[in-house]
Each structure stands twice: as structure tokens, then as C-alpha cells.
Amino acid sequence: MKNLFLLLTVWLLLQSTSFSQVISEWRGIGRTGVYNETGLLKEWPEDGPPLLWSVNNLPVGNSSAAIAHNMIFTTGLEGDMDAIVAMDMKGNIVWQKPFGRAWTQSYPESRATPTIDGDFLYISSGKGDLACFKAVSGELVWERKVSEEYGGTYGRWGLAESLIVLEDKVFFTPGGNETTMVALDKLSGETLWKSKSLKDNPSYTSPLLVEYGGRKTIINVTENYILGVNPADGEIIWTFDFGSYATSRNNNINTPLFFDGYLYVTSGYDHKCVKLKLSDDATSVSLVWVDEVLDVHHGGAVKVGNYIYGSNWLRNSMGNWVCLNWETGKTMYEKKWENKGSIIAADGMLYCYEEKSGNIALVKATPEDFKVVGTLKVDSKRGPFWAHPVIKDGILYVRHRESIWAYNIKK
């Protein structure tokens, strides 16, 4: 009886943790861009927070960092291949291996962020080659040219999908005429299902996994659609015609925001942005409001409290910082500071990394004003600065091309 009780306890534990097995991924666990950190500085010294260390010999890339197993993982170019780089917590390279064909045309730098699920690392290349490694040792487990195998298509800048992992599956969105999304066995790489095709191109978006209405749903954005997919069998549960809200381009890049059954999706180039409501059983969506101010280029957005924060697109080299009311879509402020860029949040503060010169602002997350209470500038003269920052254990990690800087932002 005792053994039966122990077995039941282990089984229940496995069931309760199956949705949260992933330990590091794009824009933090849950892909919200909001890091669960406390005890962080509310202001920075005049010359910025202390620099703990930096490294400047990485293969060139625009991906963010994933941090797990006391190691830092990112990607970069190795000839015409994308490569994984694994470092210790001081930036020393532990292992480095190519994993797939890089995008070699416009802006070829690697861009996908690794996903660490338990002991394994999952990554996709600029041409849609997928690979799985043992995270600590770097041993290759499997690799496949998934986009090519399924007749996937490309935008003018290749692919940039940071992979979603759930239970026994890893998911990828090749798009094209054969399928929209596929699921592979995460340990063998074998295909478990492929969805029907929406006859649409993929975007540059990394999808979002949500649980609502008694079901898990993968939410992604293709060139023209926002869609919800059943991770169990690949059924496309619902679609929303996001392309009809475009003014000029459908270069969708930003991972959606999700909270309590509501979904916010934003895109640059004067693309109108939308808030959607999932039905109670998560089988359909309806439009709540449309916004024309916060058209995020590719820096992401964050929801802190009842407000959305990010930067908009005025032109490719300029944008302002914006706060919207989550409930209504009302613009609370639109402020100029340096340039548009990426944004993350932690402990009630915003971290804004502008893309033109590499300045980072510490800003209180309040709808009253974009008030900068600290700045730093990374030591690089060559932009653009496109990688999204990461916070882990009170340290701010900033990536740019061949460099990573680690700053102490603890009180």
C-alpha cells in the first residue's frame, strides 16, 4: 500500500509539472518578457550598474541568451551554418557546435533563442533546420531539415522561430502548401503530426503556449493569420485574419501577450494591433479593440499590471516608447527616448534596450510617464542592437553580435 501511494504521488507530480518542464526559453518562462525577479535596483548609479564581466569572441548573432544548468546558451554564425555556443557563468565557452543552415541573404545573423527543456536543448536555424542537443555536454541527439522536408517557405529574412516544447513534443511552423505547423517527438525527432495548411507563409514569430478554457493551445502568427493549434493532434482550432489590419507590410515578429483569456498581438510598419478574447472553451476568438499607436517593430511588448509597454515604429530607424491601457487600448503616453528597441520587465521596472546606439534605460513601470531613472551603454559602436536582454538571479545579460555583458542589478 505504501509503494502504491508513492507511485501515485510521483505520477501526480509528473502530471502537475508536465506543463512547466521547460526551464529556459525566449523572453523568459511563459514568453512574457517579465522576469520573476525581486530585490532589484530601483535606480542606477550615474555610470550604470556594475559590470561583472563581458565576452567579445562569440560567433556573430542577434539571438538572446537562454540560461540553465549554470550555463549560458546562445547562437551565432559559423561560416554558412548557425551554431550553438554554451558558456559557463563567466562567459567562458564550454562547447560550440553547428546545428543547421544559416540564412545567407539579407541580415544573415542567427536569431532564434535556444529552448532548454530538462536536460535537452532545442533550436531552429535561419533555414528551418531543427536540432536537439544534450545541454550540458553538447552531444547531438537528433537533427532534421524540417522546413525543407515539408515544403516550408521563407520571408525575406529567413526564419526566426524559438521552439515551443510541451510534454513529449517540440513544435515548429514551416508554413507553405503542405502544412502550417508540425510536432516532432522531442527525444527522437520523428514526426508525430502535421497540421493542415493555411496556404500561408510563416512569419518571424516565436509562438506562445497558453492554458485556458480547459485546454492547452499553441498560439502563433503567420504572415496573415493569428491561429490557435491543439498541441495534442495539430488541429487548427481557430484563426483570425490579422493580415487585413496591415497598412503596408505583414512582417510579423513579436510573440503575443496573453492574460486571463485575452490576447494582444502587435506588429510594426504601421500595422494595426489587436486585442482578442478567447471564448470560454477556447475554440474561437473575438475582437475587443484595435490600436494604431503601439506597432512594435521587433522589440516585443510586456504587460505589467493593467498596462502594456513597448516601442512603436515610426520608420526603420526611429520609434517612440508607448504605454497602453490593457483593458481599453487607450494610449497613456507616447514618449521619445533615443530610439525604438526591445523591452523586458522585472520587479516593477522596465529595461529598454534601444537599437541604434546600444543605450539601456531603467524605467519605472507606471502609466503616468516614461521616466528614466538609470542608463547604461554597452561598449560597442556597431549597431543595430537587436538581441533582447535577459535577467537571471539579479544579473542583466545583454547580447550584441559577438558580445555579451553581465551587469549586477541587485540592490
* Tens-digit pLDDT profile for residues 247-274: 988 899 999 999 999 999 999 999 999 9
pLDDT over 90, % of the chain? 92
Neighbours of 238 (CB within 10 A): 19
- Confirm if 388 and 398 have CB atoms less than 8 A apart: no
Residues 342, 219: Cα–Cα separation, whole Å: 21
Q: What is the mean pLDDT of residues 146-156?
A: 96
Q: What is the mean pLDDT of residues 336-359?
A: 97
Q: Taking the chain, what is the end-to-end CA distance rounded to the nearest angstrom? A: 50
Report whether pLDDT(227) > 80: yes
Report whether pLDDT(17) > 70: no
pLDDT of residue 135: 98
Grouping H, G, I as helix, E, B as strand and the rest as coil, residue 193 is strand
Report whether pLDDT(77) > 70: yes
Cβ-based neighbours of 13, under 8 Å, separated by 6 or more: none
Q: Which of 9-23, 114-128, 247-261 has the lowest mean pLDDT?
A: 9-23
pLDDT of residue 4: 45
Report whether pLDDT(2) > 60: no
pLDDT of residue 356: 96
- Confirm if 291 and 308 have CB atoms less than 8 A apart: no
**The model's pTM:** 0.94
pLDDT over 70, % of the chain? 95
What type of residue is 175? G
Report whether pLDDT(169) > 50: yes
C-alpha angle with apex 37: 398 to 293, nearest 5 degrees? 65
The full set of domain ranges for the chain reads 63-204
CATH architecture type of domain 63-204: 7 Propeller (2.130)
Q: What is the mean pLDDT of residues 59-88?
A: 97
pLDDT of residue 100: 97
Report CA-CA distances (Å) from 46 to 186, 374, 377, 397. 47, 7, 11, 19
Q: Which three cell numbers stand for residue 94?
A: 564550454
Residues 387, 222: Cα–Cα separation, whole Å: 22
Q: What is the mean pLDDT of residues 167-186?
A: 98
pLDDT of residue 12: 39
Q: What is the mean pLDDT of residues 198-204?
A: 97
Dmax (CA) for the chain in angstroms is: 68
Report whether pLDDT(5) > 70: no
- Banded pLDDT at 332 (limits 50, 70, 90): very high
Cβ-based neighbours of 6, under 8 Å, separated by 6 or more: none
Q: What is the mean pLDDT of residues 297-311?
A: 98
